[in-house]
DNA sequence: GTAAAATCTTAACCTGGTTCAATATCTTTC
DNA sequence: GAAAGATATTGAACCAGGTTAAGATTTTAC
């Protein structure tokens, strides 16, 4: 199993010793993903946090009318997964789908709990991880309030370089909270500039 | 200093022993607040996390045109403060203002770092705290995308019972991301039902 | 206790973004 | 490589929510 990406990610916050790397390694499950594959399906309780070793995925939920709403993209070096479902053990409302071939590391809830109990360094890592995610999300909320759809689109392209090639326009529109038709108009307008 | 609220909050996640409570207690600074008082002013680096012992506060940022945008309310038992400014040591863009008389506990950054180093239990507490805040914020993002202003207003009233009496309509409107005029229309419509 | 300031309401008009429907393009699949 | 299905574009009608401005009500300050 290729541990390079995750270990260097974790080491940017805390510094793991050999034993901790080994413990982490034996907790993780590597999984190759194919383009279009459903990694997590809504309706069952989430069992893993998902770390991207390579490739792109998106997480979305499907409303009562059957429309998908994309709430997150993730690429190499990012975590994904439904924290709420994981911790409360309720069925997740989100599905996660591969947008390209790649590899993910699955981190089962039980193994995570064990690791957290045994090695306080992981407590610290996840504290900082959640802390940072929280800051980013706060920023996104502000952005959503104050910015227009066009500028949100531009900032999507900045924040997820390369992602646009892998995602259909309708999913980008969904992530931005607008209709595909309107995104189409925005792109046309931007080209003319 | 009244430690009841904060200790019982923390004990709902981890279980503090006497020494830990003592250490926490000596790290905190109690401050009485008056209605309308500015607790944190934007422009200076944030130095504290803020725990509400009693009363109500709101956090907002002021844009280039001078308009305030409310991003958070907090009442008894909630944390407030700018995590980004605290951790990156940059000037905060948010101001925090008391909406009623009350009491806050200020938790200085340096003291927090010390506590985290010495007592892993606090790592765990903050890991869970941030984790939960993250879940709530994810939910709020979905809500903002899919729900109409009217239903966001209704869900504001549910989530912050009693808050409406302390906050001016224009600040509620700001929190909901709409104009005060439009909130006025919504309220009128709801009354007629 | 009254004047000034702030907040709230109402109404007419405006705009960013949606809906629907028709056409065009790109992908699959056999 | 043709047919079918998905995805993207365009345009017209429409709607949620914004803007502006004026009046009504409440709060604040002296």
Q: What is the pLDDT along chain B (193 residues), one digit of tens a residue?
A: 899 999 999 999 999 999 999 999 999 999 999 888 889 888 889 999 999 999 899 998 877 767 788 888 998 999 998 888 898 899 998 889 998 889 999 999 999 999 999 999 999 999 999 999 998 888 887 777 777 888 889 989 988 888 888 899 999 999 998 899 999 999 988 876 5
pLDDT at A193 over 60: no
Report residue A44 CA to chain centroid gap: 18
Instruction: Give B71's contacts in chain A (Cβ within 8 Å).
Output: 138, 141-142
CA of A34 to C1' of D1 (A): 27
pLDDT at A104 over 80: yes
Which of strand D's nucleotides are less than 7 A from any protein C-beta? 7-12, 16-21
B157 within some domain: no
CA of B69 to C1' of C14 (A): 23
Helix, coil or strand: residue A177: coil
* The two structure tokens encoding residue B27: 């790290």
Question: Is B51 within 8 Å of B65 (Cβ atoms)?
Answer: no
Q: Domain range spanning residue B76?
A: 4-117
DSSP string, A48-86: EEEEEEESEEEEEEE-TTS-EEEEEEEETT-EES-HHHH
pLDDT at A24 over 90: yes
Distances (CA, A) of A185 to A149, A161, A171, A181, B119: 11, 21, 15, 6, 55
A172 within some domain: no
Asked if the Cβ of residue B150 lies within 7 A of any atom of strand D, the reply is yes
B34 within some domain: yes
CATH number at residue A15: 2.60.120.10
A167 within some domain: no
Asked if the Cβ of residue B180 lies within 7 A of any atom of strand C, the reply is yes
A43 within some domain: yes
Give the position of tokens 């940017």: A12
Instruction: Give A63's contacts in chain B (Cβ within 8 Å).
Output: 146
Measured in angstroms, the CA of B81 and the nearest CA of chain A are apart by: 11
Mean pLDDT of chain A: 90
pLDDT at A165 over 90: no
pLDDT at A192 over 70: no
B36 within some domain: yes
CA nearest neighbour of A25 among A131, A115, A147, A92: A115
Instruction: Give A69's contacts in chain B (Cβ within 8 Å).
Output: 142, 145-146
The helix-helix angle for A18-27 and A109-118 (nearest 10°) equals 160
CA of A189 to C1' of D13 (A): 21
Asked if the Cβ of residue B61 lies within 7 A of any atom of strand D, the reply is no
> Nearest residue (Cα to C1') for D27?
B168
- How would you classify the pairing of strands B79-80 and B48-54? antiparallel
Instruction: Give B84's contacts in chain A (Cβ within 8 Å).
Output: 135, 138-139
pLDDT at A48 over 90: yes
B82 within some domain: yes
B44 within some domain: yes
* Number of separate domains in chain B: 1
A68 CB-near residues (< 8 Å, 6+ apart):
A60, A61, A62, A171, A174
Asked if the Cβ of residue B178 lies within 7 A of any atom of strand C, the reply is no
Give the position of tokens 């594959």: A37
pLDDT at A31 over 90: yes
């Amino acid at each position: 199993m290729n541990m390079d990406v995750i270990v260097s990610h974790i080491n940017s916050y805390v510094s793991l010793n050999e034993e901790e790397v080994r413990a982490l390694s034996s907790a993780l499950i590597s999984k190759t993903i194919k383009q279009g594959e459903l990694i997590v399906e809504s309706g069952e309780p989430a069992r893993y946090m998902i770390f991207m070793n390579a490739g792109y995925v998106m997480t979305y939920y499907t409303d009562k009318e059957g429309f998908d709403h994309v709430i997150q993209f993730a690429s190499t070096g990012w975590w994904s997964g439904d924290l709420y479902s994981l911790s409360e053990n309720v069925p997740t409302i989100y599905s996660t789908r591969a947008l390209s071939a790649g590899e993910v590391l699955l981190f089962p809830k039980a193994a995570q709990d064990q690791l957290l109990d045994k090695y306080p360094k992981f407590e610290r890592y996840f504290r900082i991880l959640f802390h940072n995610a929280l800051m980013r999300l706060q920023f996104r909320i502000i952005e959503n309030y104050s910015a227009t759809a066009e500028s949100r689109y531009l900032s999507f392209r900045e924040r997820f370089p390369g992602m646009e090639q892998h995602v259909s326009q309708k999913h980008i529109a969904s992530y931005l909270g607008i209709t595909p038709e309107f995104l189409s108009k925005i792109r046309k307008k931007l080209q003319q500039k």
